[in-house]
Amino acid sequence: MLIHPGMLEDVPEVNFQPAPESHLLDLNHTHETPAEEFRTLRTRLNHLQTLQPLHTVVVTSPSPAEGKTFTAVNLALVQSHLPDRLVLLGDFDLRRPLVHNLFQIDRGPGLTDFLLGNIPLSAALRKVSGLNLYLLPAGNPVKNPLELLNSRNARLLFEQVPRVFEWAVFDSPPLLFSADANLLATMADGTILVVKIGSTTFDNVTRAMQSLCENNVLGIVANGARASELYSKYTYYYSKTE
């Protein structure tokens, strides 16, 4: 067994110190618009969880710079605000990992070191002080991320995460630039696609949805809308709930 509740006792703790300009939710101003929108997203996902087995979510985008990491990190943060719910935020974008930078922690040891069998999972995790949030940074660089993500340990990780964590949110590479996200989507309970208003083309959205086969896409997050557009600065659409 890779994952069990007792392993969390050995996880080192880190302070919540977001990097400047990281765009992480301000925990002292949770009623501002971005936090409210992420709570709406959380509410809808938690409702879906009552209807189907839903614990592991891959967050991706058609192309780079559309806000997938911003969405994954803040979704995990807002989920961790709920009491008695352990949340895991994993950086599965092994080609361009950012989670460790946003939280100002070391990149390694992390996911790659665990998948290679060099360390137990507890040594790859960090517990964020004062939150029900655990971080799984990318780990040390590897030459072939796709091969590592296709390993037995990776599949077991997805299978066993629900034994400990109510939610696991995994940031992944863009769909149209590598096969990593497609592979991860086959192992996760659901996938969230992030698009950027005024940047993502309809063709790229179509290609991304086709690559996912649409069979476990929970919905689309539209990022970067102006306050005068749609509902607010950050607006969310859900394919299965609307």
Give the helix/strand (H/E) hosting 136.
strand 133-136
Look up residue 113 and give its DSSP letter: H
Say if residue 123's pLDDT is above 70: yes
**For residue range 139-186, what is the model confidence (pLDDT) as tens digits?**
999 999 999 999 999 999 999 999 999 999 999 999 988 899 999 999
The Cα 222–Cα 229 span in angstroms is: 11
Q: Do the domain assignments include residue 125?
A: yes
Q: Do the domain assignments include residue 51?
A: yes
Say if residue 187's pLDDT is above 90: yes
Q: Do the domain assignments include residue 16?
A: no
Q: Do the domain assignments include residue 26?
A: no
The residue type found at 76 is A
The pLDDT-based confidence of 242 (bands split at 50, 70, 90) is: very low
**For residue range 15-34, what is the model confidence (pLDDT) as tens digits?**
999 998 888 877 666 555 67
Look up residue 19 and give its DSSP letter: P
The Cα 188–Cα 52 span in angstroms is: 13
The pLDDT-based confidence of 1 (bands split at 50, 70, 90) is: low
The domain that contains 106 carries what CATH number? 3.40.50.300
Residue position matching structure tokens 């497609």: 182
Q: CB-based contacts of 44: which residues, under 8 Å, 6+ apart?
A: 219, 236, 238, 241
More confident residue, 30 or 197: 197
Q: For residue 168, what pLDDT is reported?
A: 97
**For residue range 48-70, what is the model confidence (pLDDT) as tens digits?**
998 999 999 999 998 888 889 99
Q: Do the domain assignments include residue 20?
A: no
Spatial contact of 16 and 128, defined as CB atoms under 8 Å apart = yes
Q: Do the domain assignments include residue 105?
A: yes
Spatial contact of 112 and 94, defined as CB atoms under 8 Å apart = yes
Q: Do the domain assignments include residue 232?
A: yes
Q: At 32, phi and psi to the nearest 5?
A: -70, 160
The Cα 24–Cα 19 span in angstroms is: 9
Q: Do the domain assignments include residue 179?
A: yes
**How many folded domains does the chain comprise?**
1
Give the helix/strand (H/E) hosting 134.
strand 133-136
Say if residue 227's pLDDT is above 80: no
The Cα 118–Cα 153 span in angstroms is: 12
**For residue range 60-98, what is the model confidence (pLDDT) as tens digits?**
998 888 889 999 999 999 999 998 899 999 999 999 999
Say if residue 240's pLDDT is above 50: no
Give the helix/strand (H/E) hosting 191.
strand 190-196
Say what the alpha-carbon torsion angle 143, 146, 148, 151 is, to the nearest 10 degrees: -160
Domain hosting 119: range is 5-10+33-237
Q: How many CB atoms lie within 10 A of CB 173?
A: 25
The Cα 113–Cα 168 span in angstroms is: 19
